[in-house]
A and B are shown apart, each in its own frame.
Chain A
Amino acid sequence: MASIWTLQFHPISLQPSIWVSKHQIHLNFEKLRPEFRFKSSSSKQLSRKFVLGANSGSPSDPDEPAVKTQTITVAVKDQLSKLHGTINSFPPLVFVMNRYGGSNLAIGLCIAITLLVIAVRVYAARKLRHRTPGSVADLVRRGQLRSDRRGISRPLKYEDPFNNPMVKVGKSNSTVEMCGKVYRLAPVTLTEEEQAIHQKRRSRAYQWKRPTVFLKEGESVPADVDPDTIRWIPANHPFATTASDIDEDLAQNNVYQKHGVPFRIKAEHEAMQRKLEALQSEQKLNNLMIDPRNAKDFERPFKEHPRSREQVEQSSFNNQTSDSMSPTSDPAPISVESNSSSEETQKL
């Protein structure tokens, strides 16, 4: 059984040995062939002799049984020699098997065990890879969690981006391993002189002065502006809405402002405040009378009028808008005032 195993594993595992054994087989075969031929020819001679002998004898010969037995034995011998020949002509594997039987058994066993180990490892690795996600082991495998630092709340820290588990430099500094890939390193050959040469080349090639004034195409050049510093921008450029209502100083102050209400919001509030005050002083006398709309609020609640409800809703909506538009305005603005204030903001 073991020898058969040997025969089976030979071609799988060791290519050179196959070649060697084939060679051996060929040699053996060639050695064996003449022998076989000789043997077969001798057997033929024997049988021929026997046939002659048989023919020469009379049919009523008393020695007939002996002859018969001889024939049988010779025939058997002939067959045996044939079988022997076939076996010997078969020999490559059998011969090798017989020759190296003991050592092959050991080698075969070793190889078989190795293959078994590989198969088991591959199977185990595959099984591990396809393990259901979500376990702690999975987190460790994905790099979210370090297996040796379980339960330590302090964040993991490495030395620097040039030397950490993801970036490793080879011993000779000629290679670097990043994210599992090894790269060859080549030194930078740029020198200060070369850099200076490039700078000179560029300074000759590109004569440029940074524009400081942007003007829309078609605008006239201001008197105090150097024409070289003007950048003409097309009308559809994002910068082209230069018709800004704020002047430069104001914009600068806005940028530098650190506390308080921003300029524009403040200005809007002030304008609104003034308007409100003016309106209030105008309508002081009117407010003394009962406002017909306010009077409707005192109507009996169970008596519902669709029209009046709409009006109430409208007035409440006006109040909301006025609140959102003027958070710092008077806490109880009447609807007429709120309307006017919203107009004011729209104007602004």
Chain B
Amino acid sequence: MLSLHNPFPTTPKPSLNLNSSTPPFSTTFKPHFPNTLKPPKPHKPHFTTRTQSLLQYNRKPQLAGETPRVVVITSGKGGVGKTTTTANVGLSLARLGFSVVAIDADVGLRNLDLLLGLENRVNYTVVEVLNGDCRLDQALVRDKRWSNFELLCISKPRSKLPIGFGGKALVWLVDALKSRQEGSPDFIIIDCPAGIDAGFITAITPANEAVLVTTPDITSLRDADRVTGLLECDGIRDIKMIVNRVRTDMIKGEDMMSVLDVQEMLGLSLLGVIPEDSEVIRSTNRGYPLVLNKPPTLAGLAFEQAAWRLVEQDSMKAVMMEEEPKKRGFFSFFGG
């Protein structure tokens, strides 16, 4: 859940000496790039935000890599939280000031619009764009809460996609978004369907980096490993993982694999660790992403941190293990 920003290159064997005054843990949590209060790149004319969430940040993360960053969020196994991650990371990026286009590439079973609360505003999809029934800009649904966030659905539920061209259509979409009038988006996030069949192939085609969502159980890990192998075969080298639905109490009781165990099995760098949180279901039901919750929740904060790392192409240097009893003050006995 927490990345200790390490400005120094990764040492081959990170030591556990947390008290030492040398890296990797001493210089954490301080802005380590100069001029942090300045925007990292020439300020783009972005749209005014109507809703302000509780946590706003003075500092902006420094965008690394070439724009648009085309990120596919995949897992292999279903139900691990790909769509939730897409919605929350996407909106976090939008809140950080980046323009984001989220593409729901789940052809038969799209749900991203529900999570974002935009289901009533999806009139046109990519199928209509391909058929010539509408233009691409008409199919993009702009979120009213954060207007630099846009949603694009591949097809309507229960409709079949006449897509004999495979992932080519998505490549054209990315090209068209790059060259659009208001400027190329900073991030194109593709929500990949479960499985490794045609939908998966279509979704990964335009991507140049991937976020693998997994839960700390062996079924999910096996699928994740396979998907990672396929992504690497396809030439996507920048793969990071998000471990979702982590329960620190179960890890402590050795009933659940720890995040470090998961990492040892998959050998992927960590983008984030999302704790199990009942608020996730509540926010899904409301169609209001977790990161906009007031007051912020544990999982929402973890998503925000993951989004920050995604922007900076950073990875976690330390992970939260178990809950420690909070040290109570001297006067806590007296109801304090």
- Measured CB to CB, the residues of A under 8 A from B are 114, 117-118, 121-122, 125, 142-144, 155-164, 166-167, 169, 172-195, 197-199, 201-203, 205-214, 231, 233, 237-244, 246, 248, 250-252, 254-260, 262-267
Contact = CB atoms under 8 A, between A and B. Distances in A.
Contacts of B266: 198
8 contacts: A155-B52, A181-B326, A185-B318, A187-B25, A189-B14, A208-B230, A233-B198, A239-B163
B114 interface: no
Contacts of B270: 188
Given A160-B58, A199-B232, A262-B138, 12 more contacts: A166-B295, A173-B18, A176-B2, A182-B326, A184-B323, A188-B269, A188-B318, A213-B166, A231-B198, A239-B107, A242-B163, A254-B131
A167 B3 CA distance: 12
A164 to B, nearest CB: 6
A210 B57 CA distance: 41
A258 B19 contact: no
A255 B176 contact: yes
Contact of A183 (B28, B168, B323): B323
Given A169-B29, A203-B233, A238-B160, A186 B267 contact: no
A143 B294 contact: yes
Contacts of B15: 187
B12 A191 contact: yes
A155 B164 contact: no
Contact of B10 (A191, A203, A241): A191
A211 B201 contact: yes
Nearest to A264: B132
A202 B324 contact: no
A312 B9 CA distance: 82
Nearest to B163: A239
B1 interface: yes
Given A173-B4, A178-B2, A192-B12, A231 B166 contact: yes
Contacts of A176: 1-2, 320
A179 B269 contact: no
Nearest to B305: A161
Interface stretch (B140-148, B208-216, B221-229, B282-290): B221-229
Given A240-B160, A262-B132, A160 B12 contact: no
B29 A162 contact: yes
B172 A256 contact: yes
A195 B268 contact: yes
Given A238-B161, A254-B130, A188 B137 contact: no
B329 to A, nearest CB: 13
A231 B201 contact: yes
Nearest to A254: B132
B43 interface: no
A158 B57 contact: yes
B133 interface: yes
Given A143-B294, A155-B56, A184 B320 contact: yes
A174 to B, nearest CB: 4
A244 B130 CA distance: 10
A182 B325 contact: yes
A157 B57 contact: yes
B201 A194 contact: no
B326 A262 contact: no
In order of increasing CB-CB distance, the 5 nearest A-B pairs are: A198-B267, A263-B132, A206-B229, A244-B162, A264-B132
A169 B28 contact: yes
- Dominant secondary structure at the B interface: loop
A193 B12 contact: yes
A102 B56 CA distance: 61
A257 B160 contact: no
A239 B175 CA distance: 22
B117 interface: no
Contacts of A159: 31, 57-59
Contacts of A125: 335
Contacts of A195: 267-269
A117 B320 contact: no
B111 to A, nearest CB: 14
Contacts of A231: 166, 197-198, 201
Contacts of A114: 334
Contacts of B267: 190, 194-195, 197-199, 201
A185 B3 CA distance: 10
A160 B321 contact: no
Nearest to A215: B164
A118 B18 CA distance: 40
A122 to B, nearest CB: 5
Contacts of A201: 267
B228 A161 contact: no
Contacts of A164: 55, 57
A158 B260 contact: no
B316 A203 contact: no
B135 interface: yes
Interface string B152-184: 000100011111111111001101100111000
Contacts of A243: 162
Contact of B301 (A179, A246, A251): A179
Nearest to B28: A173
B56 A172 contact: no
Given A202-B229, A202-B232, A258 B137 contact: yes
A189 B24 CA distance: 11
B257 interface: no
Nearest to A256: B176
A195 B232 CA distance: 13
B120 to A, nearest CB: 22
Contacts of B296: 166, 179
Nearest to A196: B267
A233 B266 CA distance: 30
A131 to B, nearest CB: 17
Interface in B286-320: 294-298, 301, 304-305, 308, 315-320
A213 B165 CA distance: 7
Given A121-B334, A178-B2, A143 B57 contact: no
Contacts of B136: 255, 257-258
A291 B232 CA distance: 73
B263 A190 contact: yes
